[in-house]
Structure 1
């Protein structure tokens, strides 16, 4: 039983880690398609001159980034528990 739990957490953590990595790469590609967009993103980080639609879009992306962070944390926790259980 303990071996099955160990394998589930370890391999599940690896799978979640891979999925989290893919989400982060997708977010990076979506947010900054080229270097100019990357620089511009840092120029107007607070969106002070943005319209309400742009602010709403930014808030949605913030929620997606929070979900990616949570997925990464769950993957790290699963891996650490899986590695901590003795074989």
Structure 2
């Protein structure tokens, strides 16, 4: 069973790599991005799209973890207040 999970994970990673490679090869047109007057050098359109994907994949879990920690802090604070109110 463990080998099957590894094989499926490997297959998924290979399929994902193939899709990314296909995307990069199909989007070779150059684009120059402008942000607040700053112009980036012309790069293939796939590069900024994949960069945005990687940044989003990195920031998403970080923001989610922050929200979980904040919720736990609020729950602990309300439990303390409830314990003090009972006393």
TM class by shorter chain equals 0.3 to 0.5
Radius of gyration: which is bigger?
2
Q: Could you state the TM-score of these two structures normalised by the residue count of structure 2? A: 0.38
Q: Write 1 or 2 for the structure with the bigger share of strand.
A: 2
Q: Could you state the TM-score of these two structures normalised by the residue count of structure 1? A: 0.38
- Structure with higher RCO (Cα < 8 A, 6+ apart): 1
Q: Write 1 or 2 for the structure with the bigger share of helix.
A: 1
